[in-house]
Structure 1
Amino acid sequence: MAPVLTPAQSRFLRGQAHDLKALLQTGGKGVTPAFLAELDEVLERHELVKVKVAADDREARDSLISDIARQTDAALVQRIGHVAVLYRPSKDKRQIVLPRA
């Protein structure tokens, strides 16, 4: 289940993600099982990830991003243009400590 973030936690994560580079990018094939497996592994290792979505239409991008977040049980922190920031706490070792409020 995707974590539910408070506005303060979202703001904190946006600040943490500011300097990150996009680690993954969807290709012409869209969201494949291989892409989702790689994203799942990257989320487990980094917890906070930028993903670049290659879709021309804004509605298609929004749909792809929400689909990716749902399938990986990640929270969508932010979306700007073609880039989405996803957060999912690690099951084994948490690195990011969220503020309480």
Structure 2
Amino acid sequence: MLSGKQKRYLRKKAHHIKPILQVGKGGINENVIKQADDALEARELIKISILQNNMDEKDEVADEIAGKTKADIVQIIGSTIILYKESKENKQIELPVQED
């Protein structure tokens, strides 16, 4: 679980990256989950765009993708989801220390 400070840090880092995945009217399938998981392993921080022809709620889409990839939702803003998952092989992002 990410702290508020960590989420702010990740939102700042994600500001300039472009969405690399799109969820359209087909919704979430195994292919989308696999692509998201692979992208998270390679980059740790990704943006996913939800297209207008997708009829699912943005929160539900974010929760499902995050749950199946074991990632943390950093932010849902408009039709864009920002996800973070620490990479096992390719760690690049050093999060601020979490305060108790």
Q: 1:79 aligns to what SS in structure 2?
A: strand
Which of 45, 53, 56 is matched with 2:42 structurally?
Answer: 45
Q: Which runs of 4+ in 1 moved over 4 A?
A: none
| 1:66 partnered with 2:63 | yes
Q: Cα RMSD (Å) of the superposition?
A: 1.2
The Cα shift of 1:47 comes to: 0.2
**Counterpart contact for 2:25–2:55, Cα < 8 Å:** no
Q: How many residues align?
A: 96
**Counterpart contact for 1:77–1:87, Cα < 8 Å:** yes
C-alpha distance in 2, partners of 1:35/1:67? Answer: 11
Q: 1:78 aligns to what SS in structure 2?
A: strand
- Matching residue of 2:81: 84
C-alpha distance in 1, partners of 2:86/2:68? Answer: 15
**TM superposition score normalised by structure 2:** 0.90
Which amino acid counterpart does residue 85 of structure 2 have in structure 1? R
C-alpha distance in 1, partners of 2:25/2:55? Answer: 11
- Matching residue of 1:25: 22
Structure 2, gaps ≥5 residues long = none
The Cα shift of 1:18 comes to: 0.4
